[in-house]
Every structure is written in structure tokens, then in C-alpha cells.
Chains A and B, each alone.
Chain A
């Protein structure tokens, strides 16, 4: 039996995670992190979500506390998100939240308070293999969240529990229904938690930074349109560019911020998006660094691609070369490496180019 602090967002996954831990005989305390003081409705810390977490904890007979980490969230997640968009980078806020809030701030607080481990309701699995810790994909391929947990190192994995990682989502909901948890039918959260779904990203960013209109040009430099805010344009995007319909499908293949007063969005055919390699920085490894053949995944539920990784170069960056050309990845997104069995996370980093 261990003393476990379980992060409870008020959703069904973390509710069942807590229930599983209680059932396994651990001494469990639930915590909801208050991360965002804003008025997002989709987040993990609205008052009604905290109420759900508290009432589930009551039902499980465990204590529930709320930790206010909103300053850290602002500093490590929201500000870099806004600054990134201003600079043409598209960070993944869920990854930064896991990195800085769950695996740093919460884990440190838990350690200080005498907890043996922190548990979450993520769909991924931690397994002991050859005296080392392995981070494996969740059993439910549709819900696998190993991608957003890739930055966990051996020390973190040793002190983290993922009680529902071996379950399919329908099993999770079935358990929740069986024990009558109020969160059993709660929909999965999808969006960036601090952005209100009725306002959207442009409004969120527009309240914080000046949004700049940009010319849309084709790959020959011919001016063919205009977007209201270059900050909300992402590489690979093909909708919302204000281009006349009927022509060939065009994708954003580049966003040029070099001249801050005259940003340019370049669109082109799918082929113009294709790249053979990407440069990845801020690399972290779940265990020892790896080189050679791997699988790489560049979005939360993207297809893993066969690749090789080389590096680091003098500036600590790695080159990931895919076996077949891949669609260019927006700078700021995370490239996560898996073993060739497509099972274990090896590490990951942030795409620089």
C-alpha cells in the first residue's frame, strides 16, 4: 500500500483512476489543480469540474483538496502559448502542462507532502522492464495519451501511476457506471482548456497580443488572398484562408514572420508540404538516449512514421529523417519517438523546423 495523490480533473478517466487506486488498497487523496483563473468552459478547473471531482472523492471516501497553481500555469503554459503564436510557433499546451505542472509542480508538492506517487487518469502505461521504467502506449489505441506524457524520465516514471492505462475507454465508463460515479457519462475534453469554445483561439490571442493581417501568396509569390490574423495560421492548414473555392486544394506550406510588419502566408499544393527531415530541439528521453531506427509521431493521434534519428549536433538538436516524405510539422509541435514495436515511448522534443 502506498500513499498516492491522484490528480482529479472532474472527468471520468481520473475519477475511475482514483476508484481503481482505492480498490487496490492504496491510501488515496484526490487533488484538483486550479490552473486557470479565466472563464474557459472546456477546462479542467471550472467550478463545476471541481465540484464533480469533490463529489466523486466523497463517494470514494477519500479526501479531496484543491491546489492553486494558476501562476505556474500562466507562466509555463499560457504565456509561452501566446508568445509562441506571436512568433509563428504553435506550442502544444497539454504537453507543457504535463511537463511543468503535473510532472514538476504537482510532483514536487506531492513529494514534499510525503506522498509516494502521483497518479493521473491518462491513457498510457508504465511498466517495469529489465530494472528500468518503460512508458507504453495506452491499451485503447483511440485514446492513447503517451504522446503528451513523453517527457517523463526514469525518476518521474518511478513515482507516477497511470491506473487506467491498461483499459479501453468503454471499460473505464463501464466501471464508472457500475459504481455509480456522476462523471460516468461526461464527454471527453477535446480543446485547449484555457480557451473558451464559443470565443476560439483568435479571440483569445486577440485579447492578449495585436493580431496582424497577412498576405496569402502562392509558391510563386503571387498575391492571392489575405488573412485577418497570421497568428492563428498553422502550417498544414487548408481551411479559413479566404481563398476562392473550386480550385485545387491548397495548404499553408509556410508562414513567414521575418518582417514583423509584413507577415506572409504561403500556400501550395500538398507536395509543397512534404519534407524528408525535421530538426528537433529540447529533447528528453524516457531512458537512455537513442539513435538509429525509430518511429516518430508528430501529433497527439497522428500515425507513427518510420524514421531514423541522428544527433545531437553542437547545439543539442537532433535530425529526424522519415523513411517516406512527411507533411511539414509546424514549429513548436512535439515529435515523439517510439520503439519499432510502436509500443514504448523513447523520448521526444520540440520541432524547430
Chain B
């Protein structure tokens, strides 16, 4: 896609543009390091060295040991392994917030786990978490508590230290899993890895390729594997490791960490500029106060407008955005996140998520703001 075809891209929370450094690094692997990294011959050893180097660079940014990194096919697999693997390994019950991504929520529900209400700002309700842990502990052990670092729809940042304190106090044996898929561009990943026992990553959210991610596993916790086979990743995830993918993920994460302070400051200004432009329109209300969210997510509910119609017209105007999650057919579905926050269905019908990233410019924001003012007026006429 040329930049003209892309127009104004404000769906970075879905996938951001792949970094040029990542394309180069991965191309190099595909050209000359394509051998199976588990093979004993020199081609295999070369690939293995490349993989180990990349894994160590990744671990460095995360402040963990290379042995803590389990490479997965992405955030969904990492989340599934954290939840289902913890339940399988310990026989306990899984607990998560109602605002979690479906990749956490569904395995928790599927395994008969406990879903804790969230607050109006989508942050897990810590009192409700304490109660839920006490209640669950009375019957059986709590295997894992999963709380996301950053909410993927509305952008709320979790107070992970506070969550960890509640877990230590009310379910001391439980593992703490954090879905940090939306965090890497905005937060210090090492801080997150320090406080949680398991952390999920997804490369395409920070400029890496699709279909590669990691579950960071620390503090002696050992979720059961989802995939059995050749015993790769120390038996924790079988399947030939995607060397190019890990190189891409590691390159992307290192670049994201290096530029983070600058990107956060710049995008925060852009997001505030966007909010200022659109909240002057009647009935356009930020879903969560911007101070509570990452700079990259601007989620608003727009009265008297339906998301599907809004997104169609924005797309026609060259603005790529999203609302809630899309199902397999591509249709918009009602968001479980806004529902859990207590946003009324009529307000949630006008949900719009504009998500910014490192490549977003002031010109993008101005064009999006102007287009939104126009489109909302046309849809309300």
C-alpha cells in the first residue's frame, strides 16, 4: 500500500505498519537462515544462533531471561496457554476481568472460571477481585488471575501493582498473568514483566509481523503446553520456531522501546488535539478520561450515530478506524467491554475507536477531525 492508498490510518491497535527495520531483518533470515533451528548441521546451527540472538535481545528489553521467553503464534495463543495451561497444571480455577480480550475471557469462561466486574473506566474492580478470590479460595485454589496491561478497545491502563497486591493478599498461590498485547508501544515492558508471572506479547501490535508472539513465563510458574510434538521451546510449545518471526518481533520491540518516550509524548499531544476537535461536537463523549488511557487510543461514543454507518463513511473519506471487534463474517459485534463498563447499549451503538501509532502525523489528525465533523453532521441530518 502506498501512503496515498492508506489515507489516514487510525487503527494501530488492530495492527500497526511493519517497521522497515523489521522487513530488512526478516528478509535477511529468509534469504540465508531458513534452515530448521533444531537441526544439528551447520545450517541449523546458524539459524539457531540467529534465533538465540533474537531471543536474547527480546529478553533484554523485557528485563527477563531468554529462557523465560516461550515463542507462540501470537497473543491469542499466549493468552490461551497462560489460562488453560495454568488450569491444567494446577487444577485450580482461572479468574479475570470482564473487560479482558476474548483470548483471555473465553478460556476463563470455558474452563469454568470466574469473571470479575470492571469499573466504569474498564479497570478491574479491585474490591470485587478481592471478594472473588476469597470466595474462590474457599472452594479450590486459584490457578491464575489475568488482568490486561492496557485495554484494547478503550485504552485503560491497569494498575498492575495494585492488582498484584490484591492477589498476594487474597490468593497468595495464584499465578498472575498479564495480557500486555497493547502495551509495548506505550509502557515499559520490563515494569510489567517484573510484576506479573506470565506476560503475553503480540509482534504485530508494535511494528512486527503477524502470527508471532510470546508468553513470558517467570518465577517458576509452569503452565501446561497447548501444543505437543517435537518439544521445542523447552517442551512448552512444540512446533518449529519461526526464526524470521522472532527476529522481526525482537527487532520491533527493541525499536519500540528505544523510541517509546518520544512516541508517547508526541502521540499524547496528537490524541489530545483529536479529542479537542471532536468533543466540541454535540454528543461526542470520550468513553474513558484520557488521563486513564494510553495515548494511542481515543475511544468515543457518538450519540445519534451508528458505528457501522460511521465507519463506512469514514472509510469512504479515507479514514481507517474501528468500533468494537469484528466477527468472522466481518460484521460489527456489540462490545463486551463497553457493556461491562456499564455503557448503555444505545450509547455503545455509536462507539468509535481511533487508535494512533508512531507513524501518525498532525496532518492525519487534522484530516480525521475534519472528516469526523462532516460525517457525523451528515449522519445526523
Contacts and interface: CB of A to CB of B under 8 A. Distances in A.
Interface stretch (B121-129, B215-223, B324-332): B324-332
Nearest to A68: B331
A45 B312 contact: no
Contact of A67 (B316, B331, B333): B331
A50 B378 CA distance: 29
B330 A50 contact: yes
A66 B332 CA distance: 8
A342 B308 CA distance: 41
A32 B313 contact: no
Given A65-B312, A67-B308, A47 B328 contact: yes
Interface in B281-340: 306, 308-309, 312-313, 316, 327-333
B379 interface: yes
Contacts of A45: 329
Nearest to B313: A113
Nearest to B311: A65
Chain A at the B interface: SS class: mixed
A113 B309 contact: yes
Q: Chain A CB within 10 Å — which of B313, B328, B331 has the most?
A: B331
A68 B312 contact: no
A66 B329 contact: yes
B315 to A, nearest CB: 8
Nearest to B375: A113
B379 A112 contact: yes
Contacts of B333: 68
Given A113-B312, A113-B313, A68 B332 contact: yes
Contact of A34 (B331, B378, B379): B331
A75 interface: no
Contact of B329 (A34, A109, A112, A113): A34
Contacts of B378: 112, 114
Contacts of A70: 331
Interface string A62-74: 0001111010000
Q: Chain A CB within 10 Å — which of B327, B329, B379 has the most?
A: B329
Interface string A106-120: 000100111000000
A113 B332 CA distance: 17
A32 B328 CA distance: 13
Contacts of A67: 308, 331
Interface in B128-165: none
Interface of B: 306, 308-309, 312-313, 316, 327-333, 378-379
Q: Which 7 A-B pairs have the closest CB atoms?
A: A34-B331, A68-B331, A66-B330, A50-B329, A66-B331, A47-B328, A68-B332
